[in-house]
Amino acid sequence: MTEFVSHLDDEALRSLVEALTESGQAVSIFDAEDNLRYANKTYHGMFLGDYDGPFTFTGIVRHAHRNGLGVRIDDNDVEGFIARTLPRRRSVPRKSFETDLVDGRWFWMDHTVLPNGWVLSVGADITTLKNHEKSLRQARDIALQASRTDLLTSLPNRRHILELLDGVLVEHEATGSSLCIAMIDIDWFKDINDPHGHEAGDSVLRHFSDTCRERVRAQDVLGRMGGEEFLLLLPGAGARDASGMIGRIRDGVPPARLLEDGTDLPYTFSAGVAEALPDDDRSSILRRVDRALYAAKEAGRNCTRVG
Alpha-carbon distance of 65 to 82, in angstroms, equals 11
Residue 187: name the closest of 205, 199, 203 by CA. 205
Reported residue count of the chain is 307
Please spell the DSSP secondary structure of 127-186, one letter per residue: HHHHHHHHHHHHHHHHHHHHHHB-TTT-SB-HHHHHHHHHHHHHHHHHH---EEEEEEEE
Alpha-carbon distance of 5 to 205, in angstroms, equals 76
Q: List, by residue number, the catalytic residues.
A: 228
Alpha-carbon distance of 229 to 214, in angstroms, equals 18
* C-alpha torsion 10→16→19→23, nearest 10: -150
